[in-house]
Amino acid sequence: MLQLPIYLDNNATTPCDPRVVEAMLPYFTRHFGNAASKSHAFGWEAEEAVELAREQVAQLIGAGPKEIVFTSGATEADNLALKGVFEAYSSKGNHIITVCTEHKAVLDTCRHLEKMGASITYLPVDSGGLISLPRLESAVTEKTILIAVMYANNEIGVIQPIKQISDIARKHKVLFFCDAAQAIGKIDVDVNKDGIDLMAMSAHKIYGPKGVGALYARRKNPRATITAQMDGGGHERGMRSGTLNVAGIVGFGKACELCMSEMLEEQGKIASLRNKLEKGIAEMKDVFINGHIDFRLPNITNISFYGTDGNQLLTVLAKNIALSSGSACTSALTEPSYVLKALGVNDEQAYSSIRFGVGRFNTEEEIDYAIEQLGKALSSLRQKPMTIK
C-alpha cells in the first residue's frame, strides 16, 4: 500500500534509518555519559562509543580516525574549514578560490571572510555545472591558501573533477577543501585517492540524525592546520570545543557503516528508480534536465517543466509528493536558483525547475505514482495562463 505523502526530497534531508535509531537509543538513557568525563565508567562508555563512530566515519572516506573532527553538521564544518584555514595561514596569504555554485554555507562564509580581508575568486561553471580546470589553475596566485570546490552539487547533483582539482592544488602547494555532504555514502569518496585535504560531511544526508557532521582534516602530506572557531574545553584535539553529541555521533557512525556495506547495491537500485522517473517525465514534453547528465549523483535529477511555474507545480503536488525547487536553505525565496542561473539557463527554465531526490526507502510503486501525479498536475497547469513575468 502506498503511504502518502511520498518523500522525494532526499537531497534536503533523509529519514533516519531504523538501524541508526536503534544504535543511538541507549546513548540517551543508560549510556548518557559525557565523553570527556575521565573518572568513571559513564564517561568511558561514551568515549568508547564516540571513538568507534570516529573509526566508522573515517573508514567510509579512507581517512584515519584522528583526522575526524565532529561538528554540528556540514554547515559548521564548512565554516571551520574556511575560517580555520584563513586564520591559520594568514601569514602565507589571503586568497581563496571557490565556485559560484557552492552551497550557501561556503558562499556566505566566503562573503564573511571578504569583510575580514580575504580575497575570493568565484569560478564560473559551464552549462552543465562543471568548472574549467585551466581557469582554476590560472586563478592560483602566490597568495592562494585554499581551493574550495564541492564534490557534488546539492541542486543538480553534478560531480566536479575532484582528482584533477586536487592535482592542481598539490602542484601549487595549496590546500584543497571539499564539501562532500551530498557525495559521501552515495558514491565512492576516498580522501587519499581523491587528494582532499579538508572535507565537510553531514549525517542527515545519509540516513543519520540531524545536527551532527564532521570535518576531515588531513594530518600529513600535507598537514592541514585549522584554527578553532569554537573555544572552550579543548574537545576534538582543540579544534572544536563543546560537549560531544554522543548519541548523534553514534548515529552518524552507524549511518556511515551502513553506507559502507550497502552503497554498491543501493547505488544501482536508486539509480534505476531515478532513471525510471526521468524516463516517465521525458514523455511529458517540453521538459529539460538541468546539469551534466554524465557526471552526476545517482539519486538526483533536476528538471525544468516549460510552460509552468515550478512553485505552482510544487504547491499542487505538495499534498501527495514532497519535492522542492532546489536547495532547502533557499526554498523560502521566490528568486530562481543561483545554481541554475550560473549554468546560464533562462528565467523560464530556472523558474520551472524541480529537484527530485530519490532515497533508500523509495519504492518503484512510489515512482510510478509520482510520474502519474506529475503528468496530471502538469497538464492542468499548462492549460492555465502563466503567472510569472
Ligand X SMILES: *Cc1c(COP(=O)(O)O)cnc(C)c1O
Q: Does residue 208 bind ligand X (CB under 6 A)?
A: no
Q: Under DSSP, is residue 280 helix (H, G, I), strand (E, B) or coil?
A: helix
Per DSSP, the three-state class of 205 is coil
Give the CA-trace dihedral at 188, 204, 199, 116, to 10 degrees: 150
Least separation, in Å, of the C-beta of 59 and ligand X? 20
Nearest of 378, 372, 363, 376 to residue 8 by alpha carbon: 363
- Report the 10 Å Cβ neighbour count for 134: 9
* Binding test (CB under 6 A) with ligand X, winner from 10, 14, 56, 75: 75
CA–CA separation, 203 vs 205, rounded Å?
Answer: 6
- Per CB under 6 A, which of residues 9..68 are in contact with ligand X? none
* Contact residue for ligand X among 146, 150, 162, 297 (CB under 6 A): 150
Place of cell 502563466: 386
Contact, 122 vs 98, CB < 8 A?
yes
Q: How far is the CB of 170 from ligand X (least distance, A)?
A: 23
Which strand ranges, in their side-by-side order, compose the sheet holding 95-99?
Answer: 68-71, 213-217, 198-202, 175-179, 144-148, 95-99, 119-123
- Determine if 202 is a binding residue for ligand X (CB under 6 A): yes
- Which of 181, 239, 244, 246 binds ligand X (CB under 6 A)? It is 181
Catalytic residue among 178, 256, 259, 329: 329
Separation between Cα atoms, residue 78 and residue 369, nearest integer Å: 37
Q: Residue 177 CB, nearest distance to ligand X (Å)?
A: 12
Go through the chain and tell me how many residues it has: 389
Give 94 or 324: the residue with its C-beta nearer to ligand X.
Answer: 324
In whole angstroms, what is the distance from residue 310 CA to residue 307 CA? 9
Provide, rounded to whole angstroms, the least separation between the CB of residue 186 and ligand X.
11
Residues 209-238 that bind ligand X (CB under 6 A): 213
Nearer residue to ligand X within complex by CB, 183 or 371: 183
- Supply 85's cell numbers: 584555514
In 3D space, the residue among 131, 88, 140 whose CA is nearest the CA of residue 113 turns out to be: 88
CB of 252 to ligand X, least distance (A): 10
Chain residue at closest Cβ approach to ligand X: 73
Q: In 3D, which of 323, 322, 353 has the Cα closest to residue 339? A: 353
Q: What is the nearest approach in angstroms of ligand X to the Cβ of residue 255?
A: 12
- Report the residue number, 72 or 352, with the smaller CB distance to ligand X: 72
Cβ 350 to ligand X shortest distance, Å: 19
In the stretch 92-121, what mask flags binding to ligand X with x, by CB under 6 A? Answer: -----------x-x----------------
User: Between 229 and 312, whose beta carbon lies closer to ligand X?
Assistant: 229
Which one of 40-48, 125-133, 198-206, 217-225 is the stretch in contact with ligand X (CB under 6 A)? Answer: 198-206
Binder of ligand X out of 154, 290, 302, 325 (CB under 6 A): 154
Annotation says 16 is catalytic:
no
Closer by beta carbon to ligand X, 149 or else 378: 149
CA distance 326 to 129: 14
Residue 304: strand pairing partners:
288, 353
* Single residue of 186, 205, 292, 360 touching ligand X by CB under 6 A: 205
The residue type of 109 is T
Active-site residue list: 329
Point out which residues bind ligand X (CB under 6 A): 73-75, 103, 105, 150, 154, 179, 181-182, 202, 204-205, 213
